[in-house]
Structure 1
Amino acid sequence: MNVNLKSLVQVLHADWIGTDGPVLIEQISIDSRSLQNGPQTLFFALSGVNNDAHTYISELIEKGVRNFVVEYIPEKYHGKANFLLVQSALDALQKFAAHHRNLFNFPVVGLTGSNGKTIVKEWLNFLLSPDYNIIRSPKSYNSQVGVPLSVVAINEKHNLGIFEAGISTVNEMEKLEQIIKPTIGILTNIGTAHDEGFLNLVQKIDEKLLLFKDCPVIIYQKNEIVDSCLSQFAAEYMLHPRKLFSWSYTDPTADVFILKREIKDEVTLIQYQFKKENHDLEIPFSDSASVENAVSCLLTLLYLEYDAETIQNRMQGLYPVEMRLEVKNGIHNCSIIDDSYSSDFQSLKIALDFLESQKKNASKTVILSDIFQSGFSNEELYFKVAQLIADNKVNRVIGIGSTISSFKNKFSNCLTYQNTAGFINDFENLNFANETILIKGARSFQFEEIVFLLEEKTHETILEINLNSISHNLNFFKSKLANNVKIMVMVKAFGYGNGGLEIAKLLEHHKVDYLGVAFADEGISLKNGGIKLPIMVLNPESTSFASIIQYQLEPEIYSLKGLNAFLKIAREKNLKDFPIHIKLDTGMHRLGFEENTIDELIETLKGNSTVRIQSILSHMATSDDMKHYDFAMSQIRLFEKLSSKLMNELSVNPIRHILNTSGISNFPGAQYNMVRLGIGLYGVSNDASEQKYLENVGTLKSIISQVRTIPAGDSVGYGRRFMAVKETKIATIPIGYADGISRLWGNGVGYIRIKNQKASIVGSVCMDMLMVDVSGIDCKEGDSVIIFGESPTVTEIADALKTIPYEILTSISQRVKRVFFR
């Protein structure tokens, strides 16, 4: 991309406020945190319910960014940069992408639907890449922001585009249609995703079809509802001769009729009829969703006039699509970002930003294969890649492949190998330790072998943490806050069992204001991990005060004894204005200064310059139970009274905070200057109406170790607590109470899910394993199982065990490996 900035004034309907000289734009950005921002970046300052990028313009200018699309110019920055002033930065971004798309004239595949968009896109890229230079959406960039970011990556060397479009409500698709302008439309499976944004299924289908209003062909699976919607749609939008290219399992009038399906050894054999001829096709999957997605690909190849032999040969090579970046613990205190099945320029930029946001170690290494289908010449491509690597301050590059090896001199501190085998042979000499490693390679390089070498070896039970869901839940609660209310997020107890440092990294990336931990060692661990956010220690012990000071943590002070002890050590270290947090007891009666101690507290602090009251806080006992509304309000009134007295008599104006997760929702009038978000971040609410807006964060998974069939009368497990009344198939799972599974969840009370079916736990939960009844479930050793997640939820388990979700989450042993993904 090389665009004259002033030429965009008319495109964006913008007012120009800047210098008269020509400015060349090479890339656009919406993320102030990206290390790729620079003098040739055009930054779109998007504003929304949860964030306003205009607040980051000052720091972007300090980093060298000089060109902005803004809705207003922050005070004091007139004349310090070039500004394109618009009514809506998002609308301007979409206009820019639509303008860029119109510069190119080649086939573009547009995909929409509820399920399968990303998989069909990736498979089409694989199937068509021998014949086309393809530009496609990176990952699942299909939103009002993701689509324009995908499309602006088109360059002159591309001759086919594949872009997906996702919507969550009405009046969104027409904007995406203007940006994508598909010439081949694919409607994938229509399911229940985002149903809440539409009146009914028909409205949702009608809205999705707007992507295809100027499209010459629409590929879809026939069914009564879709056919009815398409009939009306075709009558309304007759701007082009349109072909409806359909397929069906049951309707022989479809253009492609699936005559038969047969599953054999995890492979699906189908026979299809097209233009009155029958053809056989082997699809290397047995599940129905994958077969549907593969048939969408089949119709695309048929529309593009590929012959049956070529189709068969290529579709046999289809593979499972990994749609997420995973963070894993590695050997020798390394952390690994696994993106081992993708190597293209656009997704490399995304992965490098993710590397920066999730790095546990300051030292960064990138293991990178040859990059395909960039649209650039190799000389230009590897110049750009080397620049990206340098901008992201990567310490070491390991290139694998003949092409990247020939451009080794463009990188600093670069080691290359012709193939993956060469790297593996030299692995022992590479000395991986105390670094964050991004592993990014095209599928043909089999980088999963490298991941296996570098990954810390643990047992097969894992807790998967969805970082996207954490971001979603954070933004949900931020949307409830008044302007300028700060947010502290609790990451105590190992991030409520989910993993402390990794989540803290993400929260720092989202620019939360404070982190909260229970004890000093938790805060020290985060500081040693590179966290720079202020960290409040809620339960500091006097023996930890020296460490708190050393690591620049901030203690909660809740008693005169503790205050005097901290003041003593603070004076010994000649501290000045060290931040402390004063805890008031307003009725919880756990920790805090009671009303009768406030005068002595004031007397102790008056005239003291050693410490500074950073905040005053209290804790509500019943914010989650509106039956105790009056008591909760009495706490808030007492907090107002005592905190105001402290502020007035000490002439201070600290942050005040009393609300926890439930309080944010139930007592919005008491937000003060800050709130504390805890369990809600992890996707748990005790309000059913609120729960549906939160996303599940943690999914505890394991595998089947062994399957056996026992006769009636035999027992399972310790104490013979389960006796089979009939022949029963039993599966053993390698997870037990040492991993955090309560014994009370055993013997018919609880269940797990195998292939989305309930499998009741039978017998006692053992220390390291449990047994389930899998009679009627088609499963085998090695199959994955869900212990908790979407179902059963931690709330469901907690209700059955008469406890709270906190206990379920925090009980998961640290011997269970955490895998973080986005």
Structure 2
Amino acid sequence: MSIGMLSTEQLYHKFQECTGVSTDTRRITPNCLFVALKGDTFDGNKFAQKALDAGARYAIVDDALVAELDPTARCLLVPDGLTALQNLARHHRQTFTFPVIGLTGSNGKTTTKELIATVLSKNYQVYATVGNLNNHIGVPLTLLALNEQHELAIVEMGANHQKEIELLCSIAQPTHGLITNIGKAHLEGFGGIDGVRKGKGELYDYLMQEAKTVFINSRDKTLMAMYRERLKSIRSETTFAKVIFYPAVDAATVDAATSESGGESITLIDESPVVVFRDAASREVTTHLPGRYNFENMLAALAVGDYFGVSPQDATHAVADYNPTNNRSQRITKGTNTVLLDAYNANPSSMAAAIQQFASTPAKRKAVILGDMYELGSESQAEHEALGELIAKSNFDLVILAGKDMHYALASLPKAYYFPDKFSLHNWVMDNPMTDTHILIKGSRGMSLESVVPFL
């Protein structure tokens, strides 16, 4: 029996009968829609029947044989599973008229997303990207989780090569957008720092082409330069609907015809061990987040909150109350030790910021446990060597390095302890307990250095 291909509209009718979407048979919920995806080492089509048996209402597949052999006729055949997922998400997105904030950047994306969500939740029913669902699969899943109860969405967009943000924008269709910063992240995929700038800038390109609203950190010279470049390259009357600068600046100074001053005026007064700032009403606000880099993330959240009508008092309370629990800027007490766990990700820019901040933090004894920075390609040796030089200048009491590329940092660190793998690192930490020590733990996601915490 020949099985016909379903259109996006037909799939959407099936989706409306379901309770959610899953691409993982380990996370099947009753009456959900399972989408079979294929990768280099797996084929989700092989697990479609398992998903149906586990409670899925339908399974989207792109293998005709799997659909033909399905005795329940609940396998929905499409030309390509991933494309079907993305088209379904785009179609669902178009059924909503509430604001969708697209957010990207090299560092601070998730913390900024969480801060913005916390602030906006004071006035709105907000849905924000969960966990790390920020790529070509995660963004569609995020959008498909939206429903009529939501009043505003925040969609985090990650990328490791050019044209990816462009794709994600075409699916999420943001009405507002923000780039946190441009740094040395995913250099291998982007082809260098200029590639990062171009790839992340695709969010600005989309917002300009569609005449949407953008938030720009006026203290960030790279972001301001990217904005000016786009103004100079305008070949039609299409431009941003609005540009909200934070902190506020005079629109005339940036050659902007559609600019607004935005964001509450706040001043950093102390950043150790956590950020303390003074708000517009001269109140001192103490947060749970360390470092000047988190101050920039707070500025973004307060600017977005101000634009969407959240009162300054509610916004600052939200920022002050936010306490991360996701391996990002997370403070943990272990006996007499204080651990700053920032092990969700790492690149040369974020690693340098974290080390410089930690070096300036007053403490009786300081130790760093640092893991490899991934996806640097041909730049990896040079960047790890430069990291070693920075660590050497910081005069930490104890330096522990882990991962195959961290050995490049040893040239500047003759007294550092080096472990090629986490097993030997765990054993050393258990055999050499620390006391009364401030400890920074940071590395790329693949290193999973949060595994060290139980052994401290």
Do both proteins adopt the same fold according to a TM-score greater than 0.5, normalized to the shorter chain?
A: yes
Q: Secondary structure at the match of 1:9?
A: coil
Q: Does 1:47 align with 2:38?
A: yes
Match of 1:321 in 2: 324
In the alignment, what sits opposite 1:10? Answer: 7
In 2, are the aligned partners of 1:184 and 1:218 still within 8 Å (CA)? yes
Is 1:820 matched up with 2:451? yes
Give the conservation status (yes or no) of the 8 Å contact 2:57–2:74: yes
1:294 pairs, out of 269, 294, 298, with: 298
* Residues 99 and 310 (structure 1), Cα distance of their counterparts in 2 relative to 1, 3 Å cut: same
How far the C-alpha of 1:162 sits from its partner, in A, is: 1.3
Counterpart of 1:787 in structure 2: which amino acid? Answer: I
- The alignment status of 1:60 with 2:60, answered yes or no, reads no
Alignment equivalent of 1:29, drawn from 22, 40, 46: 22
**What's the offset of the Cα at 1:460?**
5.0
- The 1:236–1:26 alpha-carbon spacing in structure 2 relative to 1, beyond 3 Å, is farther
TM-superposed CA distance for 1:304, in Å, is 2.1
TM value normalised by structure 1: 0.39
Letter in 2 for 1:145: I
Of structures 1 and 2, the one scoring higher in RCO (CA 8 A, sep 6+) is: 2
Count of aligned residue pairs for this structure pair = 381
Deviation (angstroms), 1:123: 1.0
* Matched residue SS, 1:24: coil
- Whether the 8 Å CA contact 1:12–1:95 is kept in 2: the answer is no
| Alpha-carbon distance between aligned partners in 2 of 1:804 and 1:318, rounded to the nearest angstrom | 38
Report the CA distance shift for 1:732/1:270 in structure 2 as closer, same or farther (over 3 A).
closer
Contact 2:326/2:344, CA 8 A, preserved across alignment = no
What CA deviation, in whole Å up to 9, does each residue of 1:415-439 have, x standing for no partner? xxxxxxxxxxxxxxxxxxxxxxxxx
Shift of 1:137: 0.8
Asked if structure 2 preserves the Cα contact closer than 8 Å seen for 1:108 and 1:161, the reply is yes
Alpha-carbon shift at residue 323 of structure 1 (Å):
2.3
1:502-560 CA distance string (max 9 Å, x none): xxxxxxxxxxxxxxxxxxxxxxxxxxxxxxxxxxxxxxxxxxxxxxxxxxxxxxxxxxx
Q: Residue 283 of structure 1 contacts residue 294 of structure 1 at CA under 8 Å; is this kept in 2?
A: no
For the pair 1:162 / 2:154, whether they are aligned, the reply is: yes
Shift of 1:324: 4.3
The 3 A distance-change label for structure 1 pair 37 and 122 is: same
User: Is contact 2:327–2:450 with CA below 8 Å preserved after alignment?
Assistant: no
Rounded Cα–Cα distance in structure 2 between residues aligned with 1:24 and 1:151 = 17
Residue 242 of structure 2: aligned partner? 243
Kept after mapping to 2: 8 A contact 1:460/1:734: no
Relative to 1, partners in 2 of residues 1:733 and 1:162: Cα closer, same or farther, differing over 3 Å? closer
User: What's the offset of the Cα at 1:105?
Assistant: 1.7
CA distance in structure 2 between the partners assigned to 1:92 and 1:734 by the alignment: 45
1:441-460 matches, cutoff 5 A: 460=337
Looking at secondary structure, tell me which structure has more strand per residue.
1
Could you tell me which residue of structure 1 aligns to residue 88 of structure 2? 96
**What displacement does 1:806 show?**
5.4
Tell me the residue number matched to 1:417.
none
For residue 732 of structure 1, report the CA deviation from its aligned partner.
7.3
- Among candidates 192, 196, 203, match of residue 208 of structure 1: 203
> How is 1:742-761 mapped onto 2 (pairs within 5 angstroms)?
757-758=391-392
Confirm whether residue 269 of structure 1 aligns to residue 305 of structure 2: no
1:63 is displaced (CA, Å) by: 3.3
Q: CA deviation at 1:64?
A: 4.7
Alpha-carbon distance in structure 1 between the residues aligned to 2:410 and 2:76: 53
Task: Identify the match of residue 303 of structure 1 among 303, 307, 320.
Answer: 307
Written as runs of structure 1 = structure 2, the 5 A alignment for 1:482-631 is none
Quote how far apart the aligned CAs of 1:264 are: 6.9
SS of the equivalent of 1:149 reads: helix
> Structure 1 residues 110 and 50 mapped into 2: Cα distance closer, same or farther (>3 Å)?
same
User: CA separation in 2, counterparts of 1:797 and 1:74?
Assistant: 55
State how far apart, in whole Å, the 2-side matches of 1:283 and 1:171 are.
39
What is the SS of the residue equivalent to 2:127? strand
Q: Distance in 1 between matches of 2:181 and 2:225?
A: 13
Residue in 1 that maps onto 2:440: none
Confirm whether residue 141 of structure 1 aligns to residue 144 of structure 2.
Answer: no
Q: State the Cα distance separating 1:210 from its structure 2 match.
A: 4.0
Summarize deviations over 1:61-118 as a string: whole Å, max 9, x none.
4435462211213467243442322222111111111111222221222211212221
Q: CA deviation at 1:309?
A: 4.6
Q: Deviations over 1:621-648 (max 9, x none)?
A: xxxxxxxxxxxxxxxxxxxxxxxxxxxx
What secondary structure sits across from 1:291 in the alignment? helix
Distance 1:93 1:211 in 2: 21
1:50 counterpart SS class: coil
| Counterpart code for 1:125 | A
Partner secondary structure for residue 106 of structure 1: coil
CA contact (8 A) 1:220 1:247 kept: yes
Q: Per-residue deviation at 1:128?
A: 1.8
> Aligned equivalents of 2:128 and 2:246: distance in 1?
25
Distance 2:17 2:391 in 1: 57
Amino acid in the other structure paired with 1:757: I
Judging changes above 3 Å, is the alpha-carbon distance between structure 1 residues 267 and 465 closer, same or farther for their aligned structure 2 residues?
Answer: closer
CA contact (8 A) 1:44 1:69 kept: yes
Alpha-carbon distance in 2 for matches of 1:49, 1:309: 50
In the alignment, structure 1 residue 787 sits paired with structure 2 residue 400: yes
Give 1:197 shift. 2.8
Distance 1:249 1:101, change over 3 A: closer
SS in 2 for 1:84: strand
- Please tell me whether the aligned partners of residues 101 and 154 of structure 2 are also in contact (alpha carbons under 8 angstroms): yes
How much has 1:227 moved relative to structure 2?
2.2
SS in 2 for 1:46: coil
Query: Secondary structure of 1:139's match?
Result: coil
Secondary structure of the residue aligned to 1:757 is: helix
Equivalent position SS for 1:163 = strand
**Matched residue, 1:383:** none
Residue 259 of structure 1 deviates from its aligned partner by 9.0
State the secondary structure of the residue aligned to 2:47: helix
**Aligned mates of 2:315, 2:8 — CA distance in 1:** 42
1:574-595 Cα shifts (integer Å, max 9, x gaps)? xxxxxxxxxxxxxxxxxxxxxx
- C-alpha distance in 2 between matches for 1:310 and 1:812: 43
- Whole-Å separation in 2 of the counterparts to 1:130 and 1:458: 36
Structure 1 runs not aligned, ≥5 long: 1-7, 273-277, 326-340, 342-447, 470-691, 693-701, 709-730, 736-752, 761-771, 775-784
CA, structure 1 residues 128+206, in 2 after alignment: closer, same or farther (shift >3 Å)?
Answer: closer
Structural mapping, 1:110-121, within 5 Å:
110-121=102-113
Structure 1 residue matching 2:270: 3-state secondary structure: strand
Residue equivalent to 2:436? none
For the residue of structure 1 that corresponds to 2:162, the secondary structure is coil
The structure carrying a bigger helix percent of its residues is 2
Alignment match, 1:696: none
| Structure 2, unaligned runs of 5 or more | 255-260, 349-357, 370-386, 434-448
Conserved 8 A contact 1:794-1:808: no
Deviation per CA, 1:168-198: give whole Å up to 9, x if none: 2122223322332222212211212123333
Distance 1:808 1:65 in 2: 38
The CA RMSD over aligned residues, in Å, is 4.9
**What TM-score results when the alignment is normalised by the length of structure 2?**
0.66
Q: CA deviation at 1:303?
A: 1.7
* Structure-1 residue corresponding to 2:121: 129
